[in-house]
Chains A and B, each alone.
Chain A
Amino acid sequence: MIEKIKNLIARTSNIDGYKITENKISADELFFVKKALDMHRAKDIHNFDLTIYKNFEEDNIMYTGSSAAKIHPTMSDDEILIVIEDAAFAASFIKNKQYPLVEASDIVQAEITSNFSDKPLNEWLPTLTDALYNSDVCDKGSINSSEIFLNKVYTRVVNSKGVDVSFTTYKGEIEFITNWKEDAEEIELYKHIQFSDMDYDLIDEKVKEMLIISREKAIASPTPALGSCTVLLNGSPVIGLLSYYLAKASAKTVYNGMSSAKIGDNIQGDNAVGDLITITLDPFMKSSTRSSAYDADGFPLKPTTIYTKGILNMYHGDVRHCHYLNIEPTGTISNYIIEGGKCSIDDLKTDCYLEIIAFSDFQMDTLTGDFAGEIRLGWYFDGTSTIPVTGGSISGNIKEVQKSMYLSKELQKDNNFVGPKVIKLLNVSVAGID
């Protein structure tokens, strides 16, 4: 099919480049209610994405216009030709500053491996199910329902500059809901995990952890109206909060004027007194569904440290936006490692604090720095005792709290993220329940 598309492109005049991305996805999916299988789904999908590039000059400015379109395998030659011609027409007036396409490279990249390749996808399903339900043995709590997805994705990227790379990745995904009932009403919590290796213990541990925190939520009291207090974020919310620093260092964000972060500056401010962040992008992270030796343009990736102790070393991004900033491209890397801080989690728990492990939906606005979320489960320590709490919300702005932000020594791994398990923020606004 790629050869067919290339031949049809060759029949279209006035094109300066193209990129074709082929994706072949096979998947098995299981849907459970309690422990019983409610539905089995499978899929075999074959898609092609085409981008056409056109260089042109207007008012002495050089532009590289581009337009992207999907090509379905059931399209006739005539249909594909129309898609190509429409994309070529569009590319001829899309005024994006000129940039080069990714060139073919001699770099030999390490292969991303997965133990899911050991046998057919459907043969993993009993093991995945067993791992998910292994610890579902409590009297007062259980898995309410779950969904298991296992995808095998073949990707090939071909462009007019000679790039022709292909690789196969695996994407495992489990969503599950846990219930717990004590004396009050039954509660539920939601968990979504992603992985690219079969790791029975990882899945089992996540279920155990969710059952434990579900039990805590079932006995939680309303969050008190604390006004302003020390907040410890635990687990997933830490990832959401720290995503701010990735966005600020993105070449695209900087080029668009949405980030004013400067190379050599301390992103947390020169008078920061807390832990300073060190972030490395790692395209080869183990068991990440986002690991890839090449980015979407076929650019070969390598580990890159973008912040060291708060200092921005380099921007990260695709060839186009790095070219605009006149810097070496890193390619688009979606895995990141953030170093832990100096203190243990126990050491961070001093004085009064509100530790939050589950939000309804923690929101981090990387443009303004605002963050907020409704509390589904936290623990409030008033200086003498700790109680589980639920309800109410927190809100703040990272630019105001990052100077005295403390990262735990203990790390967590969550799909494409390795970093502190807990982060401590001072003077965060808490809307509790009076």
Chain B
Amino acid sequence: MKVSMSNFLIDQKPVLKKLVNILSEKYKYVSVLGTDTKGKMHGVQRTGIDLSDSFWAERGFVIRIHNGANYSEYSFNEIDDSSLSSIVDEIHVKMAKTLENLKEASIEVNSYDLIEETLVKQQFLGEVIALPSTLTSKEKIEKMCFIKDTALGLSDLIVDFRVGYHEVHVSKIFISSRKELEQSYIWSEGHLVSIVRRDGNTKYAHKSFSGLKAVELLDELKASIEDVMDTSIKLLDAKGVTPGEYEVICSPEISGLIAHEAFGHGVEMDMFVKKRAKALEYLGKSVASELVTMHDGAAAAKDMSSYLFDDEGVIGTDTIVIENGILKTGISDMLSALKLGTKPTGNGKRQSYERKAYARMTNTFFTAGKDTLDDMISSIKFGYLLDGTMSGMEDPKNWGIQCMILQGREIKDGKFTGVIVSPVIMTGYVPDVLKSISMLSETVELSGSGACGKGYKELVKVSDGGPYIKAKVRLG
């Protein structure tokens, strides 16, 4: 079913165009991004139920102007014909005065060229199998309670079984003197968390689900109840890993985590501008095994970060970041591209209309190889199959990598031993990890629950993934 565009944003178009026209009399570049995002978070656990608006729900605007030297932005969420003059005054008077005061305090100001835009008018409306409104909130909660109650009845070791379902309907418009863009799409994500306890030892396992979907996701959750519960119970007998270097097979989820943390953040080109990215020195050079090709882009896959245009009004693309082990290029927002003299790739994303746009990942993944998972497991003398993302952290300057992983399933002489280690911290030097990739399976899987931060803030939705990969990494 087609997703419908926000009526509110459509209704605001005339006043936004008027605002752009007024500001254009003084400034050589003016654009406005409008957002109207609706969504609900549903949570069910043993002791209660939560239902609230999504973290991503918002309705507001951000204006960008070229102030004569560089770009200034003003975010606001109250607008009508009568308030236009106060918005214009905020930019004309107050923000201009602030800039003047900073210059008077001998603060140097970077200069940026004008954004050159081509004439474009486009609309994108996403599609889902069943719209969120297909089920009432009561029916959704009932389905989730059924999942929770089913799981709680399966084992006395379970102290809680949490079910989360989150649906979000994004609508955005972008207006400048030469651009008029609209998009509306729906994504959803869900999770199951099984918490078990034995003799005071508490462990949990989780599984996430996501996609450009709506209520159909609830059926996917239902199908994984036993899998998640089994994993959590096995973790009660998990050991700590003996620190050291191991041959490992990474599940598609962990492959995605590596793609994301190891190289995704490292090729965000605002990092090139700040000279914070080691990748800048390696363009055109080998950074990974010849088997490795990595993509990023809103148009590279149909997943959590697929859109027509980014938060700076740039049409999304498909960027080949690494091709056969060679670092080809980075991903960029509009202003970084202006500074670097490159073409923007449609990766300028904001946490919300209230925040700055940065170069951010979209759908980031390694492409498939030709190996079977069975052959990969058989090839391991002593190592682990790693699965379950907990967290990750980038280090674009010095190419360190930290991935917190839920579990490693021990493999000896090509066979699972039944031993599980948990939790596992994987660290290493990015090129060492990527150059050690020796096998890749045939199917790519992407996922995108949770959120990606830049440092410790600026959360955005992304997806990442890949095939199963075999590599050599340090575990602790």
Contacts and interface: CB of A to CB of B under 8 A. Distances in A.
Nearest to B275: A144
B25 interface: no
A245 B60 CA distance: 39
Contacts of A40: 67, 72-73, 95, 98-99, 102
B97 interface: yes
A360 B58 CA distance: 31
A190 interface: yes
Interface stretch (B239-247, B293-301, B311-319): B239-247
B14 to A, nearest CB: 14
B243 to A, nearest CB: 3
B115 interface: no
Interface in B372-395: 390-393, 395
Interface in A217-272: 225, 227, 255-258, 260
B45 A256 contact: yes
B240 A395 contact: yes
A47 B77 contact: yes
A430 B70 contact: no
Nearest to A28: B98
Given A188-B397, A372-B476, A69 B90 contact: no
Interface in B23-46: 45-46
Which of A31, A46, A68, A393 has most chain B Cβ within 10 Å?
A: A393
B204 A367 contact: yes
Interface range on chain A (Cβ under 8 Å from partner): 35 or more
A73 to B, nearest CB: 5
Interface string B56-70: 011110000001001
Nearest to B139: A93
Interface string B317-359: 0000000000000000001000000000000000000101000
B73 A39 contact: yes
A196 interface: no
A38 B52 contact: no
B48 interface: yes
A70 interface: yes
B138 A89 contact: yes
B109 A185 contact: no
Contacts of A365: 423
B72 A94 contact: no
A278 B428 CA distance: 38
Contacts of A373: 402, 425
Contacts of B423: 365, 368, 370, 372, 395
B47 interface: yes
Nearest to A65: B49
Contacts of A125: 98, 101-102
A89 B77 CA distance: 28
Given A361-B402, A374-B427, A37 B74 contact: no
Contacts of B95: 40, 42
Interface string B65-85: 001001111111111100000
Contacts of B99: 40
Interface in A347-383: 359-361, 363, 365, 367-368, 370, 372-374, 376
A178 B224 CA distance: 45
Interface in A178-202: 179, 185-188, 190, 192
B427 A45 contact: no
B276 A90 contact: no
Interface string B268-279: 000001111010
A331 interface: no
Nearest to A38: B110
B153 interface: no
B371 interface: no
Given A190-B455, A363-B391, A368-B202, A33 B70 contact: no
Given A90-B137, A395-B240, A431-B476, A41 B109 contact: no
Interface string B211-249: 000000000000000000000000000001001110000
Interface in B124-176: 136-138, 141, 159-160
B273 A67 contact: no
B475 interface: yes
B51 interface: yes
Contacts of A30: 102
B404 A372 contact: yes
B202 A367 contact: yes
A39 B203 CA distance: 46
B204 A72 contact: no
Contacts of A43: 74-76, 354
B354 to A, nearest CB: 6
A93 B138 contact: yes
B300 to A, nearest CB: 27
B137 A89 contact: yes
Interface string A48-63: 0000000000000000
A394 interface: yes
Contacts of B390: 363
A142 to B, nearest CB: 11
A188 B276 contact: yes
B78 A260 contact: no
23 contacts: A33-B273, A33-B274, A39-B72, A43-B74, A43-B76, A45-B75, A46-B77, A67-B137, A69-B53, A122-B97, A144-B274, A187-B398, A188-B276, A192-B455, A227-B243, A257-B160, A360-B393, A360-B402, A363-B404, A391-B400, A393-B476, A430-B476, A431-B474
Given A33-B274, A393-B243, 13 more contacts: A42-B94, A44-B76, A68-B52, A72-B60, A74-B79, A89-B136, A89-B137, A123-B101, A129-B107, A192-B456, A365-B423, A368-B423, A431-B425
Interface of B: 8, 45-53, 57-60, 67, 70-80, 90, 94-95, 97-99, 101-102, 104-105, 107-110, 136-138, 141, 159-160, 195, 200, 202-204, 240, 243-245, 273-276, 278, 335, 354, 356, 390-393, 395, 397-398, 400-402, 404, 423, 425, 427, 429, 455-457, 474-476
Interface of A: 28-31, 33, 35-47, 65, 67-70, 72-75, 86, 89-90, 93-97, 122-123, 125-126, 129-130, 144-145, 175, 177, 179, 185-188, 190, 192, 225, 227, 255-258, 260, 359-361, 363, 365, 367-368, 370, 372-374, 376, 391-395, 429-434
